[in-house]
Structure 1
């Protein structure tokens, strides 16, 4: 599921377009469950659109709106000095598990890259990393859902692979951040402004 979600949340270039029928068929062969049911409409939506439509929609959703940031540590650290240390931690973690990252490709906290790590390099540590950034994932899920984005299903599917039920609203996400992973991982009080719902930023 993590690899399919990674591709669904990646820029829809020609390579991804060629994979879409394979993604549809792979999901059809999987046992029914929340993750599969959330991903199927995303793949169907991508298949239904032409290349220009897919590319424009992706850019408008993720590149032109900080409200839908795909970089996990942006939700917890914003553009602060501390974020550089956090990004270095992602790279070190990848290296420990033999996962090579192209420095010119994307920042190491880019969600499709983290999902690829979870799918291909170390599923156990990858799932742990996603759980550490569960509040980021849930805020992204809520923002995409509020905006009726077809991409919401991909993030919903990722959350469905993790322990526990997704929180229903932002207040519950803040409570999750306060009670969840160790402070040195998330480092947030319940209403720390660095946990960015980015309500006003579009």
Structure 2
């Protein structure tokens, strides 16, 4: 399992099948390309996750990534917000997937970071690094905001920045994150509910629903925890 694949799995919503492949995750965490300290941090993250009850791990994930927009794993939300440009950017991204033999095998947004990482781990390393360098400022803010929330997920974003070998001053991001108003508090969530349009019908998912099961694949392949 490559490093990008591992980070994709760890950043994704922690489904119970993850615990079934703990040995493989720990083996992948011993990545020779990482420094000794980063390998130790990554191994600690995996072991801590595997020691955690799945329901608790899922609640932690939802509390961090699914409350407010500042920690969203949808990359284009940070770039385009709700503008029309976001829709076109997603169309272009889906076309890029298809040109390289990938199809989304589930109904989901293509800019979801774990999905994008799974795609990039099968592309040439130079191309993957170029993508992540362009996303560097977003990843830096996510790292800083996660650190501000005292979440161990901060380390995973830092590793993506290091993988991209980009020049990014995380001190600036941490200063910005420290000065931001949190958008995951009950008060902030209430304000968000008041501002957003009400969604009707059976197609509208509940706000407390976990992400749908997802796969991305070459033809006849499916997304799995194992390599």
User: TM-score, normalising length from structure 2?
Assistant: 0.70
Distance in 2, Cα, partners of 1:172 & 1:18:
36
Q: SS of the counterpart of 1:68?
A: coil
Partner of 1:157: 159
Contact 1:98/1:121 (CA < 8 Å) preserved in 2? no
Q: Who wins on radius of gyration, i.e. which is larger?
A: 2
What is the alpha-carbon root mean square deviation over aligned residues?
2.5
Superposed CA offset, 1:83-130 (max 9, x none): 1011112111111211222350x2111110111011124443333222
Partner of 2:10: 8
Mark the runs of 5 or more structure 1 residues left unpaired by the alignment.
175-196
Candidates 89, 108, 114, aligned match of 1:112: 114
1:45 is aligned to 2:48: yes
Q: SS of the counterpart of 1:120?
A: coil
Mark the runs of 5 or more structure 2 residues left unpaired by the alignment.
185-227
Superposed CA offset, 1:40-94 (max 9, x none): 3321221121111111111111112322111111111112211101111211111
Greater relative CO, 1 or 2 (CA 8 Å, sep 6+): 1
Distance in 2, Cα, partners of 1:39 & 1:126:
20
Runs of 4+ in 1 over 3 A off after TM superposition: 34-38, 121-124, 169-174, 197-200
Superposed CA offset, 1:3-37 (max 9, x none): 11000001111222222321112222535426535
Partner of 2:144: 142
Distance in 1, Cα, partners of 2:53 & 2:65:
18
Partner of 2:209: none
Superposed CA offset, 1:127-172 (max 9, x none): 3222222111111111111111111111111111012343124469
Distance in 1, Cα, partners of 2:89 & 2:180:
20
Distance in 2, Cα, partners of 1:172 & 1:147:
11
User: TM-score, normalising length from structure 1?
Assistant: 0.78
Higher helix share: 1
Contact 2:49/2:57 (CA < 8 Å) preserved in 1? yes
Contact 1:5/1:39 (CA < 8 Å) preserved in 2? no
Distance in 2, Cα, partners of 1:135 & 1:13:
29
